[in-house]
Every structure is written in C-alpha cells, then in structure tokens.
A and B are shown apart, each in its own frame.
Chain A
Amino acid sequence: MSGEQVGLLVDGALFTLWLTLGGAAIGLVLAFLAGLARVSSSKVLRAIGFVYVEFFRGAAVLVLAFWFVYAMPMLGWQFEPVFAGMVALGLNIGAYAAEIVRGAIQSVPVNQYEAALAMNFSSWQRMRRVVLPQALVAMIPPFSNNIIELLKASAVVSVVSIPELAFNGQLIWSGNGQAAAVFGGLLVMYGALALIFTIIMRLLERRAARSVGRQPDPGWWTRLRRRSEVPA
C-alpha cells in the first residue's frame, strides 16, 4: 500500500473513533434519561422511556442514518453527515443502554432505598446519592460491550458518505484490488480500536469497584508481575 493509502486509513480510523465517541456520548445521555424515566414514579415518564427504548432498539442504524441525512432535509432540517451518523448511532445504542441503566438501578437492594428514606433524603437525593453510585458499578461491564457494538456499527453509517475506516477501506480496495491486504488491515485497525476501548472501560470498572469499597480484581498485568515476584 502506498503512503497515501495508509494516510487514508489513518484518517478513516480517526473518523471512526470520532463517530464512536460522539455516538457514545449521545447514547449515554439518552440512556440515563430513558433509564431514569423507566423507573420514575410518573406514568407519563415511564411511557416515554418505554416508547423510546422499544422504538429505537428496533430501528436499524442504517435506516436512521439515511433518515437524518436524506429525509430530514425535506422536512427543513439539514444534518451534517458525521453529526447525523453520531445521532443515528447514539439513538440506537442509547435504547440498549437505557435497559442497562434501568436494570442496574433495580438491582440495587431495596434496603438501600429504605435506609436513604430513613435519613429523609428526597427522592432525587436517594437516586443521586445512594442508588445511582451503586448502580453505576453494575452498568460499566455491559456498557463496555455496548461501546464495542457501537464501534462496529459505525461502519454502517459509511453509507451516508462519511469517510470512516470501512468507507476508506473500500475506496482503497476499489483502487488497488488488494482485498487481502486492505481488509486484513481494516480488521487489525478495528481490533486495535476495540482493544483501546476495552482497556479504558476496564480501568473505569476498577475505579468504580473501588468507589464502593470493593477490591477490584487484580488486572492481568498485576497478576503477571506477582507471579514473577514469587521466589523460585
């Protein structure tokens, strides 16, 4: 591959990274809003959360991206493709993650809620100070699956002409015909990106475990080092 082609792949990887981060940020906000709505005492909020989750869990990211880029302008809203891609990804992953938020909140033992009420916290304080910090620990591992899913789904939005990794890969391939080299390279790059996200999420997970006084599992690095310290 030429230097120019490698440059294209790097640019593509940056777009992919950008789409994933943007989609994750939008998805995270939506997940918390919808997840909290689903456990709220208000029927209306619960219904809104339910409709959002059910609708966008089923909505194909591909179709959402088309919708924002080609259909919305006809209704008078112009979306820039990268932003449209992020929104499409965020709406979809947010619906999955909302269920994680809800499940994690509901997994906090009811006696924590009761203790918080006995301390006379308001209902928002109970959520914010007692329940959510504990629920967060349970959310992080499934969130890290979500973010990998999001990374892979970002390839789909290349259809609205976002020059991300998969898009640029196809571009190079149509120029040089070297399928094995090009797509092999892409797999490695997606793998590397996934690894970076996994490592970051593992660090967050350990941090969250510590924040509730749990000793996090030692990571593989610590375990390896410990083993090497054992005297022969």
Chain B
Amino acid sequence: MAGVYVVVEHDQGQLAPSAGEALTAARRLSDHLNEPVIAVVIGEATTEFVSLCEEHGIPKAVSVLDPQIVDYGPELWGQAMAELFSLTEARVVMATGTDRGNEILAQASARAQIPFVANCINAEFSGAWELTRMQWGGSLLEDVTLDTSSLFISYAHHSVEAEPLAAASATQIESIEMNLDPVLCRSLVQDRVTLSEGTTLSTAAVVVSGGRGVGSAEGFASLEALAGLLSGKVGCSRAVTNNGWRSHADQVGQTGTRIAPDIYIACGISGAIQHWVGAMASKNILAINTDPEANMVTKAGYAVIADLHEVVPAIIAEIERRRGNSTST
C-alpha cells in the first residue's frame, strides 16, 4: 500500500477552481506520510492539467481512460477511482470537499469498502489516523481516529490555500485504460443549463443582505437599490426564505451559499451560527441592527445600531448626493 492519489476535479476538461488546493493538500500529506503523490484526472490529461501538476512539482500523474467517460457521472467516476485504488494499492485517495469531490469519494470508498472522512482540515498518521474535520459546515470541529491503513479523505474546500512551487518541474503522465461497467453510464450528466452569466452571490464583491428585520418581501426594495449602486448582489437569511420573501438562491449560510465579498452589509440579521459560517469569509462586515448585542454586530468590524429602514435609504441618498456633486462639478 503506497501513494497519495489525489483527484483533480474538472468539468469537461476545464479544471475546477479548487484543483490547486487539492494538489497542495496532497503534497503536504505526501510529505507527512513520506509517500509519493500521484495526481489523477478522470479522462484525458489536458495541457492545463499537466501544467498545473508541473507547477506543483508532481512527478507523476495518471489519466484514467475509458471511452464511456464522455462527461461527469458520479457512479462512473466513483467506480473508476475504486478500481484505481485496488489496481495501484493506493494508501490514500483524496480530493477537495466540493460537492463533486465529496460525491466521487463517497462513491469510490463505498465501492472499495474503505472508510471516507469528509471535510478534514488536518490529517496525520502515527500508527492510526488522527483527523480533524468540520461539522456544522465549519462551526464545530471534530477529532476522529481510525485504525485502518488506507483511507479516503476530502479536505474542506478553502481550508488549504493553493501554493504552487517557485519552480515548475516535469510531470510524467501514465494512461490507465479501464473497462468500466456500462451500467454505470446511467448517471452521467445529460444536459447543462446556465441561469446567470457573470457574478453570482458566491463571487460578488459586495453583498447586501437582509434578515427577518427587513419585515417583508417589499422591504427588500431598498436593499436591491443599494446593491445596485454598489454593483453587488442581494442576499438573505433563512428566516427570509422560510417566510417566502426571497428565493432560496439568495440564502447565505450553511444550507445556502457561502460568500466571500470585499464587504458584507448585513441588515436585520441576528447572525446565528449557521448564517455566520456562510458569511465569515467576507473581508469586511457592516452590520445594521437595532440590537447592539446581536451576534452579527459583535462579530462585525463595523456596525450601525439603528433601524435598517432608516439607515439603508440614508446610505442610498448619501451615495446619490455625492454622485450628483461629482457629475455637476
């Protein structure tokens, strides 16, 4: 049993933003275990994939080939990783804990009958595995141990920063042809639909969010206006989606979207832990709340303790006043 095999996620050849993260985490684990790291691509090794491996100094990569792999499919990809695991006698199979990363590892580990520990932030082995993983979307950590030698591990998305090496080195690509069970093609992606081009809630530089304090669906008009002036997106809390005031697509939090804007303006949101984990990656937070003790206020860098129905229109008026001044001068 040897080798840290890391799944490099891609969609129809296009590398996932998390790909560099996965390789960085794999290099660290490989150093710790003193075993080689092998990058894995399901499908053809694109030039983009090869250069990423080279930037990370990965000596060897594997391209898993089967003419049936025409697109993503959880079962087909899972089976491919399970077969690769037994073929290579891998010690560790890992990925970044994205939706797909966790899905592939769950499928693969179930097929290989090996434990899988999801969303780890640390993994060590000294006679037994000692891992720290996220619970509650990261609001709580859990230390677990496993007495096994081989393990499937995902690293929590964004828990490792991608660190390419200063100097790239060549990666040798080995192709492995497989003959996967055709039945598994039943869960391949059939079609794709794009709903919004460009920035989304998760990539917006400014997010203006409202909570129960907004009071109604109509109450969001001023938040919409402010977000518009700042070229941002509107978000909300689960209290708001539960009331049917906004669509769930706008929900920030553990069971909604995780955001990382330059500034998060949280209006009438108490800052429950499940909301906070979705917002905590924001670079700056401005809380507008009538309650100075609200969790959102005490955790924010900036706060205004007042009624959002007065403050938000006043911000809009001030921005418009300054813009009016600058165009007239």
Please say whether chains A and B are actual partners in one complex.
Answer: no
Interface residues of B (CB under 8 A from A): none
